[in-house]
């Protein structure tokens, strides 16, 4: 049992390190100033247990978006994001581009 817990901790740390490095290496574009909006987003597909929420949160913070993100019992990931529309669209595009996720609907 202890070995299993140790392996889970190692796997979680590797996943976290991977996401941190990946987000740090994204070449962020410059964005035109736009009005602030709020958007409710639900990602459906293989989006849980892959670091999806952490990556979404880190990208959002890098581009100046605020809000929250959570797992749903249905297996989807739900978010409420506030900021400029072009930045929210960019965030959604980045999340759709994740190879380890399989998004079937936004």
Nearest to 48 by CA among 23, 26, 70, 24: 70
**CATH assignment at residue 100:** 3.30.70.100
Q: What is the mean pLDDT of residues 5-15?
A: 87
Question: Is 38 part of the annotated catalytic residue set?
Answer: no
Average pLDDT, the chain: 93
Looking at the 3D structure of the chain, how many domains does it have? 1
Q: Please give the Cα distance from 56 to 76 (Å, whole number).
A: 14
Q: Establish whether 72 is a catalytic residue.
A: no
Is the entire prediction scored with pTM above 0.85? yes
Q: Which domain holds residue 36?
A: 2-105
pLDDT tens by residue, 60-79: 999 999 999 999 999 999 99
Which among 22, 46, 71, 100 is annotated as catalytic? 71
User: Which of the residue ranges 15-24, 48-57, 70-79, 92-101 would you say has the lowest mean pLDDT?
Assistant: 15-24
Annotated catalytic residue within 53, 70, 72, 100:
53
């Amino acid at each position: 049992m202890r070995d299993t817990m140790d392996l889970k901790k190692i796997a979680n740390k590797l996943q976290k390190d991977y996401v941190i490095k990946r987000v740090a290496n994204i070449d962020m574009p410059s964005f035109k100033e736009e009005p602030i909006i709020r958007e409710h987003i639900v990602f459906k597909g293989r989006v849980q247990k892959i670091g999806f929420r952490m990556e979404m949160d880190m990208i959002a913070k890098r581009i100046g978006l605020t809000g929250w993100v959570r797992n749903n019992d249905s297996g989807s990931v739900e978010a409420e994001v506030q900021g400029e529309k072009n930045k929210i669209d960019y965030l959604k595009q980045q999340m759709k581009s994740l190879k380890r996720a399989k998004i079937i609907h936004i």
